[in-house]
């Protein structure tokens, strides 16, 4: 399996641990990733907030630069922007013309835009994933957080249910985690307001952290660097405001999968997470020692 890989801006900086763990897990699963040459920022919320043409032309540049027939994005926001662009450019010839003028070259239609979670969960048969697991997550309690852009809107992001997505839950169960139910799996974290209306992030992400802790989670599992950064980087300020003593590590699903594939926590960038993850890692290891057969169930 060969894919064009579009890491996106954050995986090259603040979310380096997502990049590390994504590449590691893909390597083990036989998914070959080839970086899109010359890829640019997708424009994120800012471009589509202020200039429609820019919001389509930036993702179109990256799609057109892809060398394979499918491009995989690990960031939910990039995925959403690329996919939205592809859908719109295929149905609106006039817009496509404008975008092509902006790029100065024809748009490459027909490149499938996929999210990394979709590829790992749906292109690799479950049985095959199982054969790659050397250890389990030891029954550690997790909640899976999908956020807003991974599953919405429904005619654009189409690999899971909009209100009750389960793709990540399924993978985590396969790895031997105790996946808890919680009501906030698709509620927005406040994403783009991190630097402008930080209080909005405190409010929205605060609800998520409180809800995950109420459910009894040891960690919240994510598939988006923006969600992770709001949950992790802003957590000290949030728990202080809420008067919460516990801490909740926000980790990437690829980091937890990688732990079951024999990679060390250093190789998976656990140390790059701001909230201390040592208790979580310890819990996984003791759980594993106590119930080594959990992977079978």
Partner 1 sequence: MEKQLGHPLSQCYQCGKCSAGCPAAYTMAEPPNRIIRFLQLGLYDRALSQNSYWVCSSCEMCTARCPRNVEIKEIMEVLRHDAFRRGITSGEAPVPAFHKAFLKTVEWFGRLYEPGLVLLNNLLSGRFFKDFTAAPGMFFKGKLKLFPGRGADNAAVRRIFKYSREEAPRGEV
Which residues of this chain interact with partner 1, rule CB under 8 A?
A: 9-10, 12-14, 16, 37-41, 43-54, 57-58, 61, 65, 98, 101-104, 148-149, 152-154, 162-163, 186-188, 190-193, 195-200, 203-204, 207, 233, 271-274
Q: Cα 231–233–75 angle (5° rounding)?
A: 60
d(CA 20, CA 254): 9
Tell me if 101 sits within 8 A of 61, measured CB to CB: no
SS3 (DSSP) at 112: strand
Residue closer to partner 1, measured from CB, 49 or 69: 49
d(CA 95, CA 89): 6
Residue closer to partner 1, measured from CB, 49 or 286: 49
Residue closer to partner 1, measured from CB, 192 or 222: 192
Least distance (Å) between residue 185 CB and partner 1: 12
d(CA 61, CA 211): 39
**Hey, which residues does 222 pair with through a beta bridge?**
145, 252
Residue closer to partner 1, measured from CB, 130 or 271: 271
The sign of the torsion formed by the CA atoms of 46, 47, 48, 49 equals: positive
Residue closer to partner 1, measured from CB, 9 or 112: 9
Least distance (Å) between residue 50 CB and partner 1: 5
Least distance (Å) between residue 132 CB and partner 1: 28
d(CA 205, CA 199): 10
């Amino acid at each position: 399996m060969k894919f064009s890989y579009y890491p996106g801006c954050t995986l090259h900086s603040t979310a380096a641990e997502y990049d590390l763990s994504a590449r590691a897990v893909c390597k083990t699963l036989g998914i070959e990733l080839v970086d899109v040459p010359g890829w640019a920022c997708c424009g994120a919320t800012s471009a589509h907030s202020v200039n429609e043409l820019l919001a389509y032309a930036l993702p179109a540049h990256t799609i057109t630069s892809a060398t394979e027939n499918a491009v995989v994005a690990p960031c939910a926001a990039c995925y959403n922007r690329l996919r939205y662009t592809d859908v719109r450019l295929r149905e609106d010839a006039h817009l496509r013309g404008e975008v092509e003028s902006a790029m100065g070259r024809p748009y490459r239609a027909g490149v499938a835009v996929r999210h990394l979670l979709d590829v790992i969960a749906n292109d690799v048969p479950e049985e095959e994933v199982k054969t790659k697991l050397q250890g389990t997550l030891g029954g550690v309690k997790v909640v899976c957080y999908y956020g807003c852009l991974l599953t919405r809107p429904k005619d654009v992001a189409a690999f899971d249910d909009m209100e009750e997505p389960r793709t990540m839950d399924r993978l985590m169960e396969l790895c031997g985690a105790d996946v808890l139910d919680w009501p906030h799996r698709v509620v927005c974290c406040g994403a783009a307001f991190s630097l402008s209306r930080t209080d909005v992030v405190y409010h929205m992400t605060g609800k998520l952290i409180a809800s995950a802790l109420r459910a009894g989670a040891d960690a919240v599992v994510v598939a988006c660097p923006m969600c992770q950064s709001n949950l992790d980087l802003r957590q000290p300020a949030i728990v202080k405001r809420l008067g919460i003593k516990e801490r909740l590590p926000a980790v990437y699903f690829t980091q937890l999968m990688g732990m079951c594939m024999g990679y060390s926590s250093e190789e998976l960038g656990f140390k790059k997470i701001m909230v201390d993850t040592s208790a979580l890692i310890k819990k996984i290891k003791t759980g594993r020692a106590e119930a080594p057969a959990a992977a079978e169930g």
